[in-house]
Structure 1
Amino acid sequence: MNCKYCGSPNENADNCGFCDAPLKKQRPQLKEFLYLDQAELPFGQLSLFHTYDLLILLRLVREERTKCYHRMRSVQKGSKLIEIDSDTLAFAESEYRRYTARMKVIEGILIDRVGYKPKRVDDKLLVSLQGKIENG
């Protein structure tokens, strides 16, 4: 088996004899499609996602978090005008907190990989990264 990092041939070992890289570790592969529920995966599974996929997932989570924030604020404002039960208000707040926590997990993985978290994940960033992946 050849090392994926340095290309050195190795026989029946867990690590490369030259660079000590793990030989059986799978590199992240691009996914065909992503959906918001994947943000609920545990850290260990999210860390196996490709960086490009993590950026898309971060974009989805941030969009949903923004929607939850607006819903939460509407419920809070509405509770002053009409009677809204505390369960509805608690649910709106918990959804916002849940997406905030998921966002922070994904941002943390990105910080570990690229050294920063992007302020915005827009089409320009994604197209640029896609071009680098295709050329790389």
Structure 2
Amino acid sequence: MKTCPYCGSHIERIDHQHYYCDFCRMKIDIRIVKKNQERLDVRFRDFAFASYIDRSTPEIMTLSTFELLYLLKMIRKERNDMYHHMHVFHRAGEESNDFKEAEKESGRDYLYFTKKAFVVENLIRTRLGYVPERITESYLVKYLQNIKNDKKTGPMIIRKQRKENKVNEKG
């Protein structure tokens, strides 16, 4: 029996890509439909590639929250490095014009990483309700442990009361 991954209710197929849940009042994509009141699976990778930084915002939006946190840690480091380079080239440029182009390039990169940080921070804010001030390795390890230690409590089945209990409650 096909069931809703959110509430466990029986669902009806409405087209070749979707089912409908009356309780949740929503279409459910066929890819996440469950059987026999199974719960949703948690999808995450315990890493993110640096190349993810260059993805478009819609592509970044598909990443798990853990991947976003990991990505933000990388972006913040790159942004900090670009600021440092920009500062160094600015100081070197005071003595020679040879470094003006490197300073401008570092400034463009700094702006790029700043905007990417804004994107990822806002996505994290919508999921967690806040953006961590610092994302350390220990923070990521603890977050990952919480995911792995999640108490996945079996299927979403509502137990029916026995008739005896109902009679005693009325009497």
When normalised by structure 2's length, the TM-score is 0.72
RMSD: 1.9
> Take 2:26 and 2:103, find their aligned partners in 1: how far apart are those partners?
50
Contact 1:107 1:117 in 2 (8 A): yes
SS in 2 for 1:59: helix
Corresponding position of 2:63: 49
Q: Which of 101, 108, 112 is residue 87 of structure 1 equivalent to? A: 101
Q: Kindly provide the amino acid, as one letter, of the partner of residue 139 in structure 2.
A: L
When normalised by structure 1's length, the TM-score is 0.89
Identity of aligned residues (%): 25
Q: Which has the larger radius of gyration?
A: 2
Deviation at 1:43, TM superposition (A): 1.6
Q: Does 1:119 align with 2:133?
A: yes
Which stretches of structure 1, 4 residues or more, deviate above 6 A after TM superposition?
none
Q: Does 1:18 align with 2:29?
A: no
Counting matched residue pairs gives: 136
Q: Which of 107, 110, 123 is residue 96 of structure 1 equivalent to? A: 110
Contact 2:121 2:131 in 1 (8 A): yes
> Take 2:84 and 2:73, find their aligned partners in 1: how far apart are those partners?
17
Q: Kindly provide the amino acid, as one letter, of the partner of residue 80 in structure 1.
A: E
Q: Kindly provide the amino acid, as one letter, of the partner of residue 67 in structure 2.
A: D
Richer in helix (by share)? 1
User: Which runs of 5 or more residues in structure 1 are unaligned?
Assistant: none
